[in-house]
Amino acid sequence: QAGLPFWWNYFWKLPFTQPGKPGEKLRLGDTMQIFKANIEEIYGGYPSKDGTPIATGSLDGLTDGTMYLALNAFQQEFGPIY
């Protein structure tokens, strides 16, 4: 648990952080469990639950607006995601 605060495990035992049962409507705890797994993988050195490696690289080439242009073209063709 290197990199995670001492209270980490206690927090995740609180009722509102618990995921719902399969087949139930999604709730806050379901989303929080995804964040928990991501944080543990990145900062706690935990293995990936789905085996996907953490992306590495430089984002310097995307800060010039090229990512926006590509996403804008996608949105123009297919519509907004929300």
Q: What is the pLDDT of residue 20?
A: 96
| Percent of residues in the chain assigned helix, strand, coil, to nearest 5 | 50, 0, 50
Global confidence as pTM: 0.64
Phi and psi based region of residue 72 (left: phi greater than 0; alpha: psi -120 to 50; beta: remaining): alpha
Q: What is the pLDDT of residue 82?
A: 58
Interval 53-76 mean pLDDT: 79
Helix, strand, or coil (residue 78): helix
Residue 76 has pLDDT above 70, yes or no: yes
Q: What is the pLDDT of residue 1?
A: 66
pLDDT in tens, 5-59: 999 999 999 999 999 999 999 999 999 999 999 999 988 889 988 888 887 877 7
* Dist. CA 76–CA 67, nearest whole Å: 14
